[in-house]
Structure formats: C-alpha cells, structure tokens
Amino acid sequence: MLASHPDVFMARKELHYFGKDLEYHRVPMSLARYHQHFDSRPANALRAGDASAWTLFSETAPAEIQRYAPDAQIVVTLRCPAEMIHSIHGLLHYTCQEDIGNFDRAVGCEPERVAGRDIPEPSRPRMALHYTALGRYHSHLTRWIEVFGRERVHVVLLDEVKSDAAAVGAGLSAFLGLEGPIKPASHSPRGRNANRAYRSGRIQRWTQRQPNRAMVDGVASFTPLRRVALGLINRFNGRFSERRPMHRRTRKHIDDTLRAEVEALGSLLDRDLGHWLI
C-alpha cells in the first residue's frame, strides 16, 4: 500500500539491517550495502521506507533506528497473535527453519527452544521458534513507544485492512504527512502470503541450505543462471495448500498465555481486541 503512493519509496522487503540482536544475517549487512537498496529512490519520493517484519521483536532495533534516523516514523502491522504464530510456523517449516511439521507439537516444544535446545539449522532469527513470545505485542510495542513516543508509532490491525482498507490508507497518509490517499493493495486470487508447502523435502532442504544460500555482506549471492535454475526448481517443488487447523487445546494454550498481553494492547490502542481470543 505504501509503495503505491507516488511520494513514497519502499526498499526491498526484509532487509533486516537494524536489530543486531536478531542475528538475522550470518554475515552482517554493512551500512554501505544497506544504502545501496535505496539507490533507485526517485528524486520526487519524499519518504523512504524499510519493511522488515522481524524488527518488531528486536530489543535493540528501536535505539539503533533512532540513532540512524532520529525523526523516523514507525508503522506496525499486527494480526491476531494465534493466527500470526500459526502462519509463521508454516513459513518456517516451508523454508526448512522448523523441522517439526505438526504445529501443535512445535508450540509445545517452545520451552526447549527457549532453553537453546532442539533448534534446527539454519533458523534465523533464533527467537523465531519462541512462538508465544512473538505474540507478546504489548511488550514489543512498548519498547518502540519508549524510544519514539506514542505520536510517532502508528499501529495498523490486519482486521482493519480487510474490513476497510481505504480508511487504513487514509490514516497512513495522514500519519506520514503525504498528499493524497494511499490506495488499498490489490490481492491475488490466492491472497498474499498464502500457505505454501513442498512436494519433496529433500529437494526443499537442498535449495534452502546449499551454497547458493551463502551470504555476501548480508545479501544472498546468486549467479543469473543459478537464480533462474533455483526459481524453476522451487516452482516445481512448491505448492499451495490449506493450512491445517490448530487443535483447540493449542489455541486455548496460546490465548491463555497471551490474554494479559492482548488486553493490555487493547487498552494502549483504545481498541476492543476481544475477538482475538477464544
């Protein structure tokens, strides 16, 4: 939505330059490399944005960003925590960063992962498998507000994007001081970030872990031929599938664990988030 506005330039997603504690890149990205992602910013783009999802969970990113850009404005998008956790598990399993395909069992293994045990390689960031900890939105958001102030942290709920994307766009435009509205994003028939699975685990592990994934200055290094070949292999091996529903017992565990966080977040945002809980 932001990238659709003529006054906004959005860099490639998931740069994760900020948030050193995440250890997202095996080889840290340099500041020079980070800046290269903004080289194509048009002269008429008044604002430039970096969209990196894991940054929300970093304890160090707010201060890092504040030092880099003291006048930065922060936009946070949140969805029902149980749904978010379910979705992240599917993504991590698809990218071979989670070796437990059963969601209910993976959530049950969280204490082991927090203790540093049974963590598959190459999980990045390590806290990715701390499933319910990711859903502590109030705690995460509070860190950002403490650094930037409430007036410079704008929260968008996925529920609101689905129900009234035009109003969300208008709110974003006003927050960022843009001229004209931000248009709702178009969606493919499958929807964005549809659940993906793979046909062959062996092929998937090869594409995710072979030297083609080697990092150079925080960026994956590919030759053009290898990039095309890997794209074809991934297209052949990947498929869309319905995400298996979580067991009601697991949903209750997640909701009970995060109930106080959801209620505190609702008070902070002055929104009723009771529908996030069962």
Tokens of 251: 């949903």
User: Does one domain contain both 173 and 270?
Assistant: yes
pLDDT at 225: 65
pLDDT at 224: 61
The parent domain of residue 227 ranges over 196-241
Helix ranges restricted to H, the chain? 31-36, 61-68, 81-94, 103-108, 110-114, 131-134, 137-148, 158-163, 165-176, 201-209, 224-237, 248-269
User: Does one domain contain both 11 and 148?
Assistant: yes
Smallest CA-to-CA distance from 250 within 127, 157, 131 is with 131
Quote the Cα angle for 6-182-155, to 5°: 125
How does pLDDT run across 53-67, given as a tens digit for each residue?
A: 999 999 999 999 999
DSSP state, residue 93: H
DSSP state, residue 39: T
User: Does one domain contain both 124 and 261?
Assistant: yes
Tokens of 177: 């001081």
User: Does one domain contain both 109 and 210?
Assistant: no
User: Does one domain contain both 222 and 107?
Assistant: no
pLDDT at 237: 57
User: Does one domain contain both 73 and 134?
Assistant: yes
User: Does one domain contain both 96 and 203?
Assistant: no
pLDDT at 190: 46
Smallest CA-to-CA distance from 133 within 56, 248, 60 is with 56
Residue type, 272: D
Radius of gyration of the chain (CA): 19
User: Does one domain contain both 121 and 255?
Assistant: yes
Residue 38 backbone dihedrals phi, psi, to 5 degrees: -110, 5
Q: Is 65 exposed, middle or buried (0-12, 13-18, 19+ CB in 10 A)?
A: buried
Residues 6+ apart with CB under 8 A from 65: 18, 72, 74, 147
Residue pair 9/50 in contact (Cβ under 8 Å)? The answer is no
Smallest CA-to-CA distance from 132 within 263, 22, 275, 253 is with 253
The low-confidence residues of the chain, meaning pLDDT below 70, are 122, 186-241
User: Does one domain contain both 96 and 225?
Assistant: no
How many domains in the chain? 2
The CATH number for 136's domain is 3.40.50.300
User: Does one domain contain both 32 and 82?
Assistant: yes
Residue pair 72/34 in contact (Cβ under 8 Å)? The answer is no
User: Does one domain contain both 150 and 213?
Assistant: no
pLDDT at 211: 45
Q: How is the chain split among helix, strand and coil, in percent rounded to 5?
A: 50, 10, 40
Residue pair 184/165 in contact (Cβ under 8 Å)? The answer is yes
How does pLDDT run across 198-254, given as a tens digit for each residue?
A: 555 555 555 565 443 444 454 555 556 666 666 666 665 555 567 788 999 999 999
User: Does one domain contain both 157 and 33?
Assistant: yes
